[in-house]
Chains A and B, each alone.
Chain A
Amino acid sequence: MTIGQVNILDGNTFVVCDKQGDIDATPEDTTGLFSFDTRFLSKWILTINGQRLNSLSVDDLQYFESRFFLAPGTGSIYVNATLSVVRRRAVGDGFHEELTLLNHAEEPADVVIRVDADADFADLFEVKDSVGKKGRYYHRVGADHLLIGYERETFHRETLITSSEPATFDERGLTITVHIEPHSEWSTDLNVVTSLLGWGQRLTQPKYGHAGRKERPMAESLRRWIDDAPRLETDRESLRSTYRRSLVDLAALRFNPPIGPGASLPAAGLPWFMAVFGRDAIITSLQALPFTPELAATTLLALGALQGVRIDDFREEEPGRILHEIRYGETAAFEEQPHSPYYGNADATALYVVLLDEYERWTADTELVKACEPYARAALRWIDEYGDRQGNGYVSYQRTNEQTGLENQCWKDSWDAISYRDGRLPGFPRATCELQGYAYDAKFRGARLARYVWGDQELARRLDEEARDLRRRFNSDFWISDGGYFAVALEADGTKVDSLTSNIGHLLWSGIVDPPKARSLVRHLMGPRLFSGWGVRTLAEGEARYNPIGYHNGTVWPFDNSIIAWGLRRYGYKQEAARIASAMLDAAEYFNGRLPEAFAGYDRSFTQYPVEYPTACSPQAWSTGTPLLLLRTMLGLNTSGQFLVTDPAVPPDIGYIALLDIPGRWGRIDAFGRGRPFSDDPRRRWTRPDRQ
């Protein structure tokens, strides 16, 4: 995000504005009030007696509420003003703005307040170029309101603006003339309500119509959210604040999709990804499982309800496939973009089964696991019937929507993310290695669910057998023996795509790696080509496409590192997992506890501080979940039957960690760990693998 921008949000409604609270959108300045992937206000500028205002300070009261303290006079010259202006804004179905003017003078003040308002109804996919809309705008001015609308055939989006104090409305905003006595104040409530006609009657008052005057449900919900999560005690101050930041951001990213089960799941990231993404929701739910298991429950139900059932090449829908992304904007509505939902990913379907099993291990919520049984069975079928596109026993991808589909359908989804060492791009279909790990883990865990929860021994036996077979083939077909690592992908003809990538860390997490091969993988992951000092790079230094600021070609992704740390723990490399945790938590300090989506892959000794990737979203759900998963890997939290087991490996720069009231099938339980020095002495290394 650009510095100086203020974001507040509720669900998929959010405001991006400047420090005065103004919105003045241009192709370069993507401010606005956004809801359902549509910009409902592209202009919202306050002037007092014709003058823009100076920002004195901004209070982010809550993630959904901000207060702007302003004074008349613009530019660098501060006018000794006798008038203060306070805008207190809360987001709901639109937003509510309490505008207060305070006259500090001995004389009465006669003031003309003007708010210029407009809405371009740009789709999120066209905010940088909203010219050439195909529909028609309309403005309706009433005695007590201004309605700005957009229609294209039967598609309607509307913004309604009202004021609690009398105002004069025109097509371009509203004007209020007031007389304020000496040492007095005056106030009005401005309401901006968004409407999607045909989607439900949403023309009501904003949710928080009286900000500051009574207990607001969102404040209550945030407090409950934080109270329900485990309490963290540690001597490392920054870890405490990072933990709290993660919980609050996760609360902000909670998203109650209108077509979901009526509870919240994590959206992918603010501002451009306040939408449901299958992969991001699943990974975030996995990271947060020991802290807020209800996110996983909602994710499983919502993604199940939207699971693919038919063949649709435009949406890349297939029976059993878990969705990639849903959007509600004009381009989705008119099928100019395929997000209704779009299913083009090759990993979320297997990860769905992984999450379901992990959820059952932690919560013993067999009711939900049985409710999701048909979804999980369909997902397991998808892996073999559709995921295995070439009939060669490996999951691969090739888009069926050539116009607007994604070329790379794994988490590294930029067009050039999968390459050979010499920079060549492989052909399609592509079978990336981590997809095989996820498929293996899904079968392995699916077998456990079949055996113990669904009571289907036949399925359990078959899945176990398939998992073993996949593992055997994978360890020979993907292994690059002279390099000592796994190829990032196989081409259709079986050629190994030979670049060294962070994907090998995901393989450890999935457990598909034969133990004798793990040591060599760990050497690569912690070696200078992949490990920057801040974390593991997406692509190793020295590969042709390596670029420390290339989106998936050399940057360090916190979420990626949290999965790698989990994988290291799984194979017994506690010290290496602790090293990654330590580096990530150091990096988080530079971002006030909020890890960005990605940061540059420069060597730690080169930059001294982590450089944020230029256009990264923040907060980003799976970056927000990263410190949570790292707490899990540092404490070695795992389930074993009815019990929570801990096996701490806390880095030396942390004295102690106490995580209290961890929820799970055991009720609530505490876990403790103390920092231990790193050691090169192999006898002092922790090498006992986690129980599986």
Chain B
Amino acid sequence: MTAPARPTADLIDEFFDQISATPQPLLHGVTATVRFELTEDHGDERVRLVRIRDGRVHVGRRQARADATIRTDRRFFEYVVTGEANALTAALRGRLRVDGDIRLLVAFSRLLPSPPHRVTTVPPPDRTARLAAQAAKAGGTSARTGKVSAAAARAAAAAADRRTRKDHGR
């Protein structure tokens, strides 16, 4: 497999920016801290500390105690934040490891977007190249951040597609 082109945007930080920019009603009632430890290609670790306070998300970079720690590599986590990979099956496969309160993975996964593909019966293989191409294509603007993530764009497209099918039958 040839080395894929690096996406120009950093999908992960874009995702964290996006979830901390606005209140997240899906996390109402949740008060917890989740640490993400993401291994970069060169072996360094990217740490993000996500503090959830009743629907508000704050993302920091320092090490601190957390109620749960989620560990995987940066490449795989890109699939997670774009909806390509499912966080819960990844945890069942050991592809993503959770130490601490497993329920926080469930809570966090409520913020993840719809899968970009319609129907799948196989877990996503290493589709980095396709992902990079999609990320490059994703555009659009939003009032708050001035930018919309590839994930959000795809979720919107999926919803629109569903609407279309609903209106015109299948």
Hey, which chain A residues are within 8 Å of B88, CB to CB? 259, 340-341
Shortest beta-carbon distance from B150 to chain A in Å: 15
State whether A260 and B103 are in contact (beta carbons under 8 Å apart), knowing that A155-B94, A334-B123, A374-B25 are contacts in the complex: yes
Measured between alpha carbons, how far is A228 from B92 in the docked complex, in Å?
36
Q: How many chain-B residues does the 8 Å CB contact rule pick out?
A: 41
Shortest beta-carbon distance from A597 to chain B in Å: 28
Residues of chain A in range 389-420 having any CB-CB distance to chain B below 8 Å: 389-391, 398, 400-404
Q: In this complex, what residue of B is CB-closest to A374? A: B28
Selected contact of A154 from candidates B95, B112, B119, B166, CB within 8 Å: B95
Contact B91 A198 (CB under 8 A): yes
Hey, which chain A residues are within 8 Å of B28, CB to CB? 374
Contact A310 B95 (CB under 8 A): no
Contact B93 A198 (CB under 8 A): yes
Hey, which chain B residues are within 8 Å of A153, CB to CB? 93, 95
Selected contact of B123 from candidates A156, A260, A335, CB within 8 Å: A335
Contact A154 B93 (CB under 8 A): yes
Q: In this complex, what residue of B is CB-closest to A390? A: B169
Q: In this complex, what residue of B is CB-closest to A310? A: B114
Residues of chain A in range 554-581 having any CB-CB distance to chain B below 8 Å: none
Q: Does A645 contact B (CB under 8 A)?
A: no
Measured between alpha carbons, how far is A197 from B112 in the docked complex, in Å?
24
Selected contact of B86 from candidates A197, A200, A335, CB within 8 Å: A335
The size class of the interface chain A forms with chain B is 35 or more
Q: Does B138 contact A (CB under 8 A)?
A: no
Q: Which of B38-46, B139-147, B155-163 contacts A (4 or more CB under 8 A)?
A: B155-163
Q: Does A314 contact B (CB under 8 A)?
A: yes
The SS class assigned to the A binding surface is: loop
Q: Does B122 contact A (CB under 8 A)?
A: yes
Hey, which chain A residues are within 8 Å of B120, CB to CB? 314, 335
State whether A309 and B92 are in contact (beta carbons under 8 Å apart), knowing that A335-B122, A398-B170 are contacts in the complex: no
Hey, which chain B residues are within 8 Å of A197, CB to CB? 94
Hey, which chain B residues are within 8 Å of A371, CB to CB? 29
Shortest beta-carbon distance from A614 to chain B in Å: 31
Give the B-binding residues of A (Cβ under 8 A).
153-156, 196-201, 258-262, 305-306, 309-314, 328, 332-336, 340-341, 371, 374, 389-391, 398, 400-404, 492
Give the A-binding residues of B (Cβ under 8 A).
25-26, 28-29, 83, 86, 88-89, 91-99, 102-103, 105-107, 110, 112-115, 118-123, 155, 158-159, 162, 166-167, 169-170
18 A–B contacts, CB within 8 A, in A order: A153-B95, A154-B94, A154-B95, A198-B93, A199-B92, A199-B98, A201-B99, A306-B106, A313-B119, A314-B115, A314-B119, A328-B92, A332-B89, A333-B92, A334-B122, A335-B120, A340-B92, A403-B119
Question: Given A198-B91, A198-B94, A305-B107, list of 7 further CB < 8 A pairs?
Answer: A155-B92, A305-B103, A305-B106, A311-B162, A314-B115, A335-B123, A401-B119
